[in-house]
Amino acid sequence: MSAHGSAAEGRITVRDIRQRKGGAPLVCLTAYTAPMAELLDPFCDILLVGDSVGMVVHGLPSTVGVTLDMMILHGRAVMRGSRRAMVVVDLPFGSCEGAPEAAFANAVRVLQETGAHAVKIECAPAVLGNVRYLVERGVPVMGHVGLRPQAVLAEGGFRARGREAEERLQVLSEMRGAIEAGVFALVVEGVAEALASEITTQCPVPTIGIGASAACDGQILVTEDMLGLFERSPRFVRRYGDLRGLVSSAVERYAADVAARRFPGSGETYFSARRKLGVPPVDIPAG
C-alpha cells in the first residue's frame, strides 16, 4: 500500500490508456470527493478531478476562480477513495501559462501532494511549449482541445467549436500541437460531431469526448450532471439518475419527521439503546 491508500500495481496506467486507442471505449467520469470516487472506481478507467469542481462544488460561475490548492485538496480526496482507476488532476487557470519552470513546479506539486497519476492541461497554443517541457521531464499530461472552459472570458461564454471552417482548422491545429507536445490522451469537448470524428481518426492517442462524438475512443461527463443533481444540464448530457429529486425527497421527509418529533426515535438515542440492553445509565460526576 502507498501512502495514498492504493496498491500501485493495481492501478490503470498511462501505458494501459494508450493501448486502448481504437479498442474498447474508455469510461471516464469526474470525481471530487472520496465517497464519490469509491462509488465510481469499479466502473471507470479514469477519474478526472476536473476544475469543474469550482462550479459543481464551490458554486463559482466558471472554472477561472479555481486555485491549485483547491485542486490538490480534492485530488487527495479522490485518491483516498479510489483503488483501480487512473486519477488525473486538472491544472487550473494560471498555473501553466507562465514560465515552463513554474508550470513544472505546479505539476510536480500536484502529483507529489495528491499521489495522482497525471495532470490535464487545456492546450491553448501559448501553453504547448510548457506541455512539452513537462512531458520531457516525466510528467504525464492529458490534453484538452475544442471548447476550453478556462478560456470562457476570452471566448465570451461556453460555445461549441468547429462549426465554421476557420474554427475547424484551429481545433485541428490544437490537436496536432498537443500530440507533438507528447500528451498520452486528449479530451475533445464541445465540437461538431464530424470534427470530433475527424480528430479521432487523425489522433494517434485515445480521444475522450464530452459533447463531441460517439466515435471518440472514450467518453467523460461531469458525474453530478449525469446523476441529475442540477435542475439544468448541458444539451450533451444524458441523465442516468435523478439525484436532485432523491435528495429533495429525503430532506423533505427528514424535515417533516423532525417537525413532528418522530425523529429521533427511541432506538436512535444512546441511553435508550443502553436500557434495551439492560445496561444501567452512567453517572457523570458534576464538575
The catalytic site residues sit at 189
Specify the residue for cell string 475544442: 146
Provide the 10 A C-beta neighbour count for residue 103.
Answer: 23
**85 CB-near residues (< 8 Å, 6+ apart):** 11, 12, 37, 40, 41, 44, 45, 46, 47
User: CB of 18 within 8 A of CB of 205?
Assistant: yes
Q: Is 193 annotated as a binding residue?
A: no
Measuring CA to CA, which residue among 55, 9, 12 is closest to residue 32?
Answer: 55
173 is in an annotated binding site: no
Per the CB < 8 A criterion, the answer to whether 43 and 83 are in contact is no
Number of neighbours of residue 7 by Cβ within 10 angstroms: 10
120 labelled ligand-binding? yes
C-alpha cell at 186: 486528449
Contact by Cβ (8 Å): 147, 124: no
Question: By CB neighbour count within 10 A (0-12 exposed, 13-18 middle, 19+ buried), where does 221 fall?
Answer: buried
Q: Any binding-site annotation on 62?
A: no
Helix (H, G, I), strand (E, B) or coil at 126: helix
The reply, when asked if residue 16 is annotated as ligand binding, is no
Can you tell me the distance from the alpha carbon of 175 to that of 202, in angstroms, rounded to the nearest whole number? Answer: 9
Binding residues for 3-methyl-2-oxobutanoate: 51-52, 90, 120
Binding residues for Mg(2+): 51, 90, 122
